[in-house]
Amino acid sequence: MANKLWEKNVQVNADIDRFTVGRDREMDLFLAPYDVLGSIAHITMLESIGLLTAEELNTLTAELRHIYQDIENGNFRIEDDVEDVHSQVELLLTRQLGDMGKKIHSGRSRNDQVLVDLKLYTRDQLKQVAQKTHKLFEELQVQSERNKHILMPGYTHLQVAMPSSFGLWFGAYAESLTDDMLFLQAAYRMANRNPLGSAAGYGSSFPLNRTMTTRLLGFEGLNHNVVYAQMGRGKTERNVAFALAGIAGTMAKMAYDACLYNSQNFGFVKLPDECTTGSSIMPHKKNPDVFELIRAKCNKLQALPNQILLIMNNLPCGYFRDLQIIKEVFIPAFGELYDCLDMATYIIERMKVNEHILEDERYNAMFSVEEVNRRVYAGTPFRDAYKQVGLDIEAGRFTPDKNIRHTHEGSIGNLCNAEIAQHMDAILREFHFEQTQEAVDHLLGK
């Protein structure tokens, strides 16, 4: 059995080992490439302060890049008797390079290793979330423009209220995603700060150059205070979880609308046949299962911040093993959100809208406000016009004029989709993804 990094002369009980390691080996596979990147940056810094020779640095860097390539090729695994990804990487180095491999841990702890791994992992995942969210945003905008002249009922209290349009409906969810993206950017920037060098949470007596590792890893800045750097474990995940939950909330609401509007009682939209499922007993059924699952999965994602909060909520400062459990709910959340974003984008692109909704007379009353406003323009006081139209409706004398004239910003006749797209583009530029990619490429010798 391979010794653990912290073991001395006593081996831990096998059941205790199983319980304490938990799902770490499984979760740490997601962190493996980032552990290697952190190690390359760390040893580059160690050489600069005289703890490694230039030759040792070159040898270690080459071997770490080889391990990174194995990870990328799917050939990396954490062995059964190895505790975590940090131990596995160091074990591989010592097998190949002997005592030289043991030198990479100088000036750091597994505490700041996992912190930097999680931050690099999170940074990368948030980039993918941003890209997939933007793709859904673009498809919603396309549908908004394509269907901007097609009217539909707007509802309050699930009662027919006023004229809306498919341009407004699709466009509303697009703009909602811009706010979600702004929240995502804030979470990204909080995650994109360097904790490496905080060691176990109290720094090191080695003269570590933390500014150097910040630059090498492409972080925006430092978590300066080493105690706070350790306090960031859990806090970072919670903040990111709130950002993911924001996107999930927008998608859950959109999915609910789609399920409702696809039903026969509404008939406002038609989902592509290949995206619906059938019934084992009713041959006519075409169920919106994909949107129902998106709704459920996104509602589950909205619970994620509370899960993380309840794990970390009553912990004092310093590291505690409780924080390990956060990985088990945090890491899988990205894959679930990716699936929901991909599926929603696919269906929205292929969704067909009903262009003849307003031929049904049950929707005539939604033009009542338009008639009130026309009378006000003609000089009738608003309260008098409101009463006149209400009495006409009750007496069955109301005949709607379906030619509506909405011109103000954000209304049916002036969707402001171009302005919303400009806002989204401005938010995306502020992530500065290119800076982090350049740093990673440099570490890998690309």
Which residue range is the domain that position 24 belongs to?
14-106
- Beta-bridge partners for 93: none
The DSSP symbol for 287 reads: B
Q: Is residue 239 part of a domain?
A: yes
Q: Do both 256 and 323 map to the same domain?
A: yes
Q: Is residue 410 part of a domain?
A: no
Per-residue pLDDT at 4 exceeds 60: no
Per-residue pLDDT at 330 exceeds 90: yes
pLDDT confidence tier of residue 280, bands split at 50, 70 and 90: low
pLDDT at position 135: 98
Q: Is residue 210 part of a domain?
A: yes
Q: Is residue 225 part of a domain?
A: yes
Give the tokens for residue 287: 């169920």
Q: Do both 115 and 92 map to the same domain?
A: no
Q: Do both 218 and 230 map to the same domain?
A: yes
Q: Among the listed ranges 153-162, 209-218, 227-236, 271-280, which one has the minimum average pLDDT value?
A: 271-280
Q: Is residue 290 part of a domain?
A: yes
- Nearest-angstrom CA–CA distance, 121 and 379: 64
Q: How many domains does the chain have?
A: 3
pLDDT at position 10: 58
Per-residue pLDDT at 234 exceeds 80: yes
Degrees to nearest 5, angle at CA 113 with 193 and 85: 130
Q: Do both 347 and 374 map to the same domain?
A: no
Q: Any idea what the CATH number is for the domain that residue 293 is in?
A: 1.20.200.10
Q: Do both 354 and 365 map to the same domain?
A: no
pLDDT at position 284: 67
Q: Any idea what the CATH number is for the domain that residue 66 is in?
A: 1.10.275.10
Mean pLDDT over the full length of the chain: 92
- Nearest-angstrom CA–CA distance, 29 and 21: 14
Backbone phi and psi for residue 270, each to the nearest 5 degrees, phi listed first: -125, 125
Contacts of 224 (CB under 8 A, 6+ apart): none
151: helix, strand or coil: strand
Q: Do both 66 and 207 map to the same domain?
A: no
Q: Do both 177 and 67 map to the same domain?
A: no
Q: Do both 351 and 386 map to the same domain?
A: no
Per-residue pLDDT at 263 exceeds 50: yes
pLDDT digits (tens, 9 = 90+) for 354-410: 999 999 999 999 999 999 999 999 999 999 999 999 999 999 999 999 988 899 999
pLDDT at position 272: 84
Q: Do both 200 and 233 map to the same domain?
A: yes
Percent of the chain with pLDDT over 70: 95
Contacts of 89 (CB under 8 A, 6+ apart): 32, 35, 36, 39, 64, 67
pLDDT confidence tier of residue 1, bands split at 50, 70 and 90: very low
pLDDT at position 2: 47
Q: Is residue 115 part of a domain?
A: yes
CB atoms under 10 Å from CB of 186, counted, come to 14
- Nearest-angstrom CA–CA distance, 182 and 180: 5
Q: Is residue 4 part of a domain?
A: no
**C-beta separation of 358 from 402 below 8 A:** yes
Q: Is residue 121 part of a domain?
A: yes
Q: Do both 185 and 320 map to the same domain?
A: yes
Q: Do both 23 and 136 map to the same domain?
A: no
* Angstrom distances, CA of residue 254 to CA of 156, 183, 259, 348, 443: 16, 19, 9, 10, 42
pLDDT digits (tens, 9 = 90+) for 45-60: 999 999 999 999 999 9
Per-residue pLDDT at 101 exceeds 70: yes
Backbone phi and psi for residue 162, each to the nearest 5 degrees, phi listed first: -140, 165
Q: Do both 75 and 196 map to the same domain?
A: no
Q: Among the listed ranges 228-237, 278-287, 340-349, which one has the minimum average pLDDT value?
A: 278-287
pLDDT at position 314: 86
